[in-house]
């Protein structure tokens, strides 16, 4: 049997939970659907120091607090993987691997994933020296030596950000030529504390019981293996949106990011997108909650307009 809600939110990270708080507080019936535990990438963040209201808080602890807030007005949460979303005009059908739902509004808050190197030690030292976000974690490495893996715009942009904090930044690239735009290449070349290691594949993350101490590199030209000391490893080898099951809606760009206007609205009335899954997101916890607040307010107005249309009819 298809269950009906006013609002179905796909994803229960900071954006989705904020939207759930606003929508349920407005006395709308709300369901959050996520294929994993609520909190999203916050659960993989050791410490958060740039979220208002907390000097410092563990990522999982912040996730717990947000979840408590998001469900206090009756919003529900369930584990499921979305397989398809069908626009039926005034209602939307959400098909999952554990049942179907119908809603007046769908909010896409499914986030994005950083590509991993999939090497020994990477997952084990995540949050203990391995990071995918310089803005989030760079301050923990002030005056230390850090390494950035990658050769695109993100790797150089985040490397330059780290250069303002760290003693030295080494950018490791598996080729001898960068993919990054010329402006970032010039800025990185001009920075005194930014250096490059060319033609190197990262093979392993090495550390002690507490943190990263080095990485194992293999030279792609001569095959030589070396150990390179580092205090932190920032990995930028790509990021992809979690938009599986949304392909048929026609609201994605050619790379799978959801296109919205400044009000978080997609091209389909009644479907919003918030947080990291949006093409123009800056992918921070604070910006995700801001997106959720905007959508949470505007979707109430949209549902009210549906009611007004019904009365007039």
pLDDT digits (tens, 9 = 90+) for 109-146: 999 998 999 999 999 999 899 999 898 889 999 999 99
CA–CA distance, 45 with 64 (Å, rounded to integer): 13
pLDDT at 135: 83
Which domains, ranges and CATH numbers included, belong to the chain?
Answer: 3-113+239-312 (3.50.50.60), 116-235 (3.50.50.60)
312: confidence class by pLDDT, cuts 50, 70, 90: low
Q: Which candidate in 6, 34, 137, 276 is catalytic?
A: 137
pLDDT at 296 over 70: yes
Q: Which candidate in 133, 153, 201, 219 is catalytic?
A: 133
For 85-114, the pLDDT digits (tens) are 999 999 999 999 999 999 999 999 999 998
Give percent of the chain with pLDDT exceeding 90.
87
Task: Name the pTM for this structure.
Answer: 0.81
For 135-193, the pLDDT digits (tens) are 888 999 999 999 999 999 989 999 999 999 999 999 999 999 999 999 999 999 999 99
pLDDT at 232 over 60: yes
45: confidence class by pLDDT, cuts 50, 70, 90: confident
Q: What is the 3-state secondary structure (H, E, C) of the chain?
A: CCEEEEEEEECCCHHHHHHHHHHHHCCCCEEEEECCCCCHHHHHCCCECCCCCCCCECHHHHHHHHHHHHHCCCCEEEECCEEEEEECCCCEEEEECCEEEEEEEEEECCCEEECCCCCCCCCCCECCCEECCHHHHHHHHCCCEEEEECCCHHHHHHHHHHHCCCCEEEEECCCCCCCCCHHHHHHHHHCCCEEEECCEEEEEEEECCCCEEEEEEEECCCCCEEEEECCEEEECCCEEECCCCCHHHCCECCCCCECCCCCCECCCCCEEECHHHECCCCCCHHHHHHHHHHHHHHHHHHHHHHHHHHHHC
> Is 291 a residue of the active site?
no
pLDDT at 311 over 90: no
Mean pLDDT of 190-206: 97
> Is 137 a residue of the active site?
yes
pLDDT at 125: 95
pLDDT at 17 over 70: yes
pLDDT at 106: 98
> Is 192 a residue of the active site?
no
Give percent of the chain with pLDDT exceeding 70.
98
pLDDT at 313: 54
For 276-295, the pLDDT digits (tens) are 999 989 889 999 999 999 99
49: confidence class by pLDDT, cuts 50, 70, 90: confident
pLDDT at 307: 79
pLDDT at 310: 63
Q: Which candidate in 6, 34, 136, 276 is catalytic?
A: 136
């Amino acid at each position: 049997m298809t269950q009906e809600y006013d609002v179905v939110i796909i994803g229960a990270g900071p954006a989705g939970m904020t939207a759930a708080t606003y929508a349920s507080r407005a006395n709308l019936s709300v369901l959050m659907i996520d294929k994993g535990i609520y909190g999203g990438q916050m659960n993989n963040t050791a410490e958060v120091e740039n979220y208002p209201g907390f000097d410092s808080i563990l990522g999982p602890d912040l996730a717990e607090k947000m979840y408590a807030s998001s469900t206090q007005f009756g919003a529900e949460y369930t584990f499921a993987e979305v397989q398809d979303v069908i626009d039926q005009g005034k209602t939307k059908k959400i098909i999952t691997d554990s049942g179907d739902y119908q809603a007046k509004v769908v909010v896409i808050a499914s986030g994005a994933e950083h590509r991993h190197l999939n090497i020994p030690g990477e997952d084990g030292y995540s949050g203990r020296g391995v990071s995918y976000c310089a803005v989030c974690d760079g301050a923990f490495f002030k005056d230390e030596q850090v390494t950035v893996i990658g050769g695109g715009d993100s790797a150089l942009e985040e490397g330059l950000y780290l250069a303002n904090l760290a003693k030295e930044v080494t950018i490791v690239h598996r080729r001898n030529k960068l993919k990054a735009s010329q402006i970032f290449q010039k800025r990185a070349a001009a920075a005194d504390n930014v250096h490059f290691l060319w033609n190197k594949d990262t093979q392993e993350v090495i550390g002690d019981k507490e943190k990263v101490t080095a990485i194992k590199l293999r030279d792609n030209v001569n095959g030589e293996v070396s150990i390179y000391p580092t205090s932190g490893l920032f990995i930028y080898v790509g990021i992809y949106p979690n938009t599986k099951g949304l392909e048929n809606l026609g609201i994605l760009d050619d790379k799978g990011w959801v296109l919205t206007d400044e009000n978080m609205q997609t091209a389909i009335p009644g479907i919003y997108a918030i947080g990291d899954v949006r093409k123009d997101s800056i992918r921070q916890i604070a910006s995700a909650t801001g997106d959720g607040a905007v959508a949470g307010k505007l979707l109430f107005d949209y549902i009210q307009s549906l009611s007004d249309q019904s009365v007039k009819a």
